[in-house]
C-alpha cells in the first residue's frame, strides 16, 4: 500500500528519535520510530507495529496450541520483509518516473510510502503498480522450492483465511524420519514467505479502496479518461462502499484484522471525499468573493496546480477529438474522390482520366501498399 502524501517533516528533522513517538494531535502516523535509512529512504516502525509484534509473540509463547513462538516469529519476519520490499517497489517506481520518495512507514495494517510522482496518471499508475508487482516475483522462488520439497497444489492454492491446513499438508508431505526442528522451521519459513506475498498481492489488488493499491489503480485508470478530480471522487466513493462490505464480512466471519483494515480504509476514503468537498467549496467561495477568500498558501498552490493540470488534460482531449474528426473528414473526402474516379473509369475508360486524376490513383495505390 502507498499514499502520495507529503511527509513535510522527515525523521531526521525531529529532535530525537524517541520524541517522535510522542502523540501529536491529529496525526496518528507520527507515532513512529526511525530504524534505518536505505537508498536515501527513512524506514520508520510505528508504535502500534511494535506493540503488535510483542503481543503476537506473547500470545504464541503462552498458548498451549497454535504454531509455536518460533513459527510465529518466522511469520512476522516474512511479513516485515515482504511489506518492506513492497514499499520500496513503490519508491523505486516513483523515482523511475521522475518523482520523489524518501519515507516508508511500517505499521500493523501494512506499509505507507511517501511517494510524490509527477502529476500525471501514467506516472502515478507506474508508482502504484511498482509495489504489488514485486510479490509475484518473490513468490516464484518460493513456489519452486515448495514443489521441489514434495509439496502439491493443495499447498499453493487454499483458503487464505485458513493457512494452517495448507501449512500442515506441506509439512506432512515433506516429513522425513529424524527431521530436525530447524529443518521444519526452514520449510515453514519458505511456505510462510509464499503465503505472505500471496495474501499481500491479493489484498492490495482485489480490494479497490484507499489506501490499497487497487483503489489507486482504479483512480488512475479513470484519471486518464475523465480527469483527476472526478476520478478521485468516483474511486473514493467506490472505496467507501467496498470498505463497508469488507467490514460487514469481517464482523460476520469474526475476522477482526479484516474488519480493522476495512475501518481504516473507509476512514481514508471518507477523508478523501471530505478533502475534495472542501476544495470545491473553497474554490466556489473564492470565485464568489472575487478572490477575497483567504486560503492556506500551500493549499492554494496545490489547488492551482491541480486545476492547471485538469485544464491541460481537458485541452488535450479536445485536441485529440478535433484531430480525429479532421482525419475522418479527410478520409471521407478521399474515398468520395476515389469512388468518382473509379466510376469515371467504368463509364469512359482509363484514357478519359486527367493528369491529376491519374496522379491521385497512383498516390492511393502507393498508400495502400505501404499500409499493407
**Which residue in 58, 25, 36, 31 sits closest to 47, CA to CA?**
31
CA distances (Å), origin 264, targets 12, 210, 239, 245: 28, 9, 11, 13
The per-residue pLDDT for 296 is 47
Q: In what order do the strands lie in the sheet with 110-116?
A: 32-38, 41-46, 100-107, 110-116
Q: One digit per residue, pLDDT tens: the chain, 372 residues?
A: 544 444 334 444 444 444 444 444 445 556 767 777 888 888 888 777 777 777 766 766 665 555 566 667 777 888 888 888 888 889 889 888 888 888 888 877 677 888 888 888 888 899 889 888 899 999 888 888 888 877 777 777 777 767 767 777 777 765 555 456 666 767 777 888 888 888 888 888 888 888 788 888 998 888 888 888 888 888 888 888 888 888 888 888 777 777 877 887 888 888 888 887 777 666 555 555 544 444 445 455 555 666 677 677 777 778 888 888 888 888 888 888 888 888 888 888 877 888 888 888 888 888 888 777
Q: From CA 2, how far away is CA 281, in angstroms rounded?
A: 28
Distance (Å, whole) CA 189 – CA 167? 10
| H runs (alpha helix) in the chain | 47-62, 69-96, 121-129, 134-148, 163-173, 181-206, 213-226, 228-252, 256-288, 297-348, 355-371
CA dist list (Å): 351 to 305, 339, 345:
64, 17, 8
Rounded CA Rg of the chain: 29
DSSP line for 324-336: HHHHHHHHHHHHH
Question: Which residues contact residue 190 at a Cβ distance below 8 angstroms, ignoring those fewer than 6 apart?
Answer: 142, 145, 146, 149
C-alpha cell at 327: 482525419
3-state DSSP call for residue 44?
strand
CA distances from 88 to 22, 58, 154, 200 (A): 26, 30, 31, 14
Which is nearest to 353 in space by CA: 343, 366, 364? Answer: 343
Distance of CA 53 to the CA centre of its chain: 26
The pLDDT assigned to 326 comes to: 86
| Under 8 Å between Cβ of 105 and 42 | no
What local confidence, expressed as pLDDT, does residue 348 receive? 81
User: In Å, how far are 77, 276, 296, 305 from 299, measured between CA atoms?
Assistant: 40, 12, 5, 10
Burial 308-344 (b: 16+ CB within 10 A, else e): ebbeebeeeeeeeeeeeeeeeeeeeeeeeeeeebeee
| Cα angle for residues 235, 236, 237 (degrees, 5° grid) | 90
Amino acid at each position: 500500500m502507498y499514499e502520495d502524501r507529503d511527509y513535510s517533516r522527515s525523521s531526521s528533522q525531529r529532535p530525537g528519535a524517541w520524541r517522535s513517538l510522542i502523540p501529536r494531535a491529529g496525526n496518528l502516523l507520527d507515532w513512529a520510530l526511525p530504524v534505518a535509512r536505505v537508498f536515501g529512504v527513512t524506514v520508520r516502525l510505528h508504535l502500534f507495529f511494535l506493540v503488535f509484534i510483542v503481543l503476537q509473540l506473547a500470545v504464541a509463547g503462552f498458548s498451549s496450541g497454535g504454531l509455536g513462538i518460533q513459527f510465529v516469529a518466522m511469520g512476522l519476519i516474512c511479513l516485515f520483509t515482504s511489506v518492506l520490499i513492497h514499499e520500496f517497489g513503490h519508491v523505486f517506481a516513483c523515482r523511475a518516473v521522475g518523482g520523489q520518495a524518501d519515507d516508508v512507514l511500517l505499521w500493523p495494517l501494512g506499509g505507507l510510502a511517501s511517494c510524490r510522482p509527477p502529476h500525471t496518471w501514467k506516472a502515478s499508475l507506474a508508482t502504484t503498480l511498482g509495489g504489488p508487482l514485486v510479490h509475484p516475483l518473490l513468490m516464484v522462488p518460493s513456489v519452486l522450492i515448495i514443489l521441489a520439497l514434495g509439496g502439491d497444489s493443495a499447498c499453493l492454492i487454499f483458503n487464505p483465511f485458513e493457512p494452517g491446513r495448507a501449512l500442515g499438508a506441506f509439512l506432512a508431505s515433506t516429513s522425513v524420519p529424524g527431521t530436525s526442528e530447524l529443518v521444519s522451521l526452514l520449510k515453514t519459513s519458505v511456505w510462510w514467505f509464499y503465503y505472505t506475498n500471496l495474501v499481500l498481492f491479493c489484498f492490495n489488488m482485489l480490494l479497490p479502496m484507499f489506501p490499497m493499491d487497487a483503489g489507486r489503480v482504479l483512480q488512475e485508470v479513470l484519471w486518464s479518461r475523465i480527469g483527476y478530480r472526478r476520478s478521485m471522487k468516483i474511486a473514493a466513493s467506490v472505496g467507501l462502499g467496498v470498505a463497508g462490505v469488507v467490514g460487514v464480512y469481517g464482523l460476520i466471519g469474526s475476522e477482526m484484522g479484516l474488519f480493522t483494515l476495512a475501518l481504516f480504509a473507509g476512514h481514508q476514503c471518507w477523508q478523501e471525499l471530505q478533502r475534495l468537498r472542501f476544495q470545491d467549496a473553497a474554490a466556489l467561495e473564492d470565485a464568489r468573493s472575487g478572490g477575497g477568500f483567504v486560503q492556506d498558501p500551500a493549499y492554494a498552490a496545490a489547488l492551482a496546480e491541480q486545476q492547471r493540470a485538469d485544464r491541460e488534460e481537458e485541452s488535450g482531449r479536445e485536441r485529440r477529438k478535433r484531430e480525429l474528426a479532421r482525419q475522418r473528414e479527410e478520409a471521407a473526402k478521399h474515398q468520395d474522390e476515389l469512388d468518382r474516379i473509379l466510376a469515371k473509369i467504368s463509364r469512359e475508360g482509363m484514357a478519359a482520366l486527367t493528369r491529376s486524376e491519374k496522379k491521385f490513383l497512383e498516390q492511393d495505390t502507393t498508400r495502400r501498399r505501404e499500409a499493407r
